[in-house]
Structure 1
Amino acid sequence: MAVADVVILSGAGRYADPWHPFAETSDALAGLASDAGLTVRVADDPDAALAVLDDGVRIVVVNAGDPEGRPPASAERVVEAAAALDRALQRGIGILAMHAAAASLRDYPAYERAVGARWVRDVSWHPPIGETRVHLVGDHAVAEGLVDFTVFDERYTGLRLLGTIEPIAEHEQDGTRHPLVWARESGRSRLVYDALGHDDRSYESAGHRELVTRALGWLAEATSASR
């Protein structure tokens, strides 16, 4: 069986929660990746999928929730998955982390370092879900040629930043701009974090779909260059 270009780690099992319809949003993300010419596999067991991550996988999409308080994966599985993720980051891989991914994969320090931020309970927050304006900022390749757009979504705010980020988009709340989408690079690997994507209404926005598509393209370019 051919190796998929993109593996989507979808929130199920200990990565499910009552708020996010991960199956629907993972399906929307799979459609965008497929439309971009990438082959896709959706995995409902993120730990197991990481543990067998093939060297041919170009992009890992994390679309999963917070496992805190849930029964843990086996210690052996976590060790296997952590080692596979470390190898992938060293060889060069793209990571697209969506929305609740800021609170996910807590057993994997390399993932947290790659994202450069964490959702912190009782500190991080979001305004009520609704229509909002997304402001493109900076001169990153993902944002090149894109314009501000509206989307119906939650906007994660007050994440704990753990490193330097290259901003791509912001949102405004109570007169203050907050980072919403950013990029990071480490060695041969690249990451885009997108705080949008609460439910499938987010992907009804043409602007958001284009942003995600551009992010996938930028991530795929890096993995092509590393081979």
Structure 2
Amino acid sequence: MAPSPAPAAARHGLLLGGVGRYTDPWHPFADTNRALRGVAREAGVALEQAADVDAALASLAAGALPELVVVNLGQPGDGGPVPGGAPAAAGLARLLGSTVPVLAVHSSATCFPDDAVWESGLGGTWVRGTTMHPPYGRAHVLVTDAGHPVTAGLDAFDLDDERYTHLRHDPGVRVLLAHEHEGRRHPLLWVHTRSGGGRTVYDALGHDGRSYACGAHRGVLRRALASLLG
């Protein structure tokens, strides 16, 4: 009998997950960081979580870059600069100007407020005083583009989550998932090609562990990782 083939080697990525100053009172980052690492494992990706987000960003300013970066951050409320100082800002700019793929989720649209580099790299942003979400609860997610590998063959699905509404986004992003609120459709997941040629997937879902317990949502994230990594 021929020997079984060896399992494929895992791809590796960096998780910039909510820790330290990049947490907030509303999001259970320990749970969602754990859930993202689990989804990544299912997709054959080993994520190493940074213990200090600003130090990790600063380390990206020079040297080798990761294969993938996953971002799950909150907006710091300590009044300090975001990103935290010139080295961190330089690292973020280098990352977003590179071809390294980025997956960003949920409150990451708020983590670097008023930072044009981050908004350009993400493809959009949370706008204070405009963006909001209805109360947490059952959300109906619509597939708005079934022609992309992330959503091909996917039906609309329901999950418990927040529905970010009135996000500002670049008109060139490719919106794959959306929800309806007050008669309008609002994007929940998009694919964005950055100016340097790298790709970003932003998923506005993912408030807590219940969101990641939804099989359809996990499947979308696995496909997004596979698409980003080619």
Normalising by the smaller structure, the TM-score range is 0.7 to 0.9
Q: Tell me if structure 2 keeps the 8 A contact 1:47–1:73.
A: no
Q: CA offset at residue 145 of structure 1?
A: 2.3
After TM superposition, what 4+ stretches of structure 1 lie above 3 angstroms from structure 2? 106-109
Residues 73 and 176 of structure 1: CA distance in aligned 2, closer, same or farther (over 3 Å): closer
CA displacement 1:190-210 (0-9 Å, x = unmatched): 001111000000011100000
In structure 1, what is the equivalent of residue 219 of structure 2?
Answer: 210
CA distance in 1, matches of 2:229, 2:50: 19
Matched, 1:85 2:85: no
CA displacement 1:15-56 (0-9 Å, x = unmatched): 111110011101000011112111211124221111113624
CA displacement 1:86-144 (0-9 Å, x = unmatched): 33333311111111011013485322211121112221110111112111112222112
TM-score by length of 1: 0.87
RMSD: 2.2
Residues 107 and 174 of structure 1: CA distance in aligned 2, closer, same or farther (over 3 Å): closer
Name which of structure 1's ranges 207-216 and 10-19 shifts more when overlaid on structure 2. 10-19
Aligned length: 217
Instruction: For structure 1, list consecutive stretches of 5 or more residues without a partner in the other structure.
Output: 222-227
Matched, 1:200 2:229: no
CA displacement 1:144-197 (0-9 Å, x = unmatched): 222211110001111122452111101112332211110101233100111100
Q: Report % sequence identity.
A: 44
In structure 2, what is the equivalent of residue 29 of structure 1?
Answer: 36
Matched, 1:59 2:68: yes
CA distance in 2, matches of 1:35, 1:74: 32
Matched, 1:137 2:144: yes
Residues 108 and 93 of structure 1: CA distance in aligned 2, closer, same or farther (over 3 Å): farther
In structure 1, what is the equivalent of residue 166 of structure 2?
Answer: 158
In structure 1, what is the equivalent of residue 131 of structure 2?
Answer: 124
CA displacement 1:3-22 (0-9 Å, x = unmatched): x7211111122211111001
Residues 51 and 171 of structure 1: CA distance in aligned 2, closer, same or farther (over 3 Å): same
Q: CA offset at residue 73 of structure 1?
A: 5.2
CA distance in 1, matches of 2:201, 2:82: 29
Matched, 1:185 2:196: no
Instruction: Determine which structure has the larger helix proportion and give its number.
Output: 1
Q: Tell me if structure 1 keeps the 8 A contact 2:105–2:203.
A: yes
CA distance in 1, matches of 2:21, 2:165: 24
Name which of structure 1's ranges 135-144 and 177-186 shifts more when overlaid on structure 2. 135-144
Q: CA offset at residue 74 of structure 1?
A: 9.2
Matched, 1:38 2:45: yes
TM-score by length of 2: 0.86
Map 1:96-107 → 2, pairs under 5 A: 96-106=103-113
Answer with 1 or 2: which has the greater Rg.
2
Residues 177 and 151 of structure 1: CA distance in aligned 2, closer, same or farther (over 3 Å): same
CA displacement 1:45-80 (0-9 Å, x = unmatched): 22111111362412211111112x4142599x5322
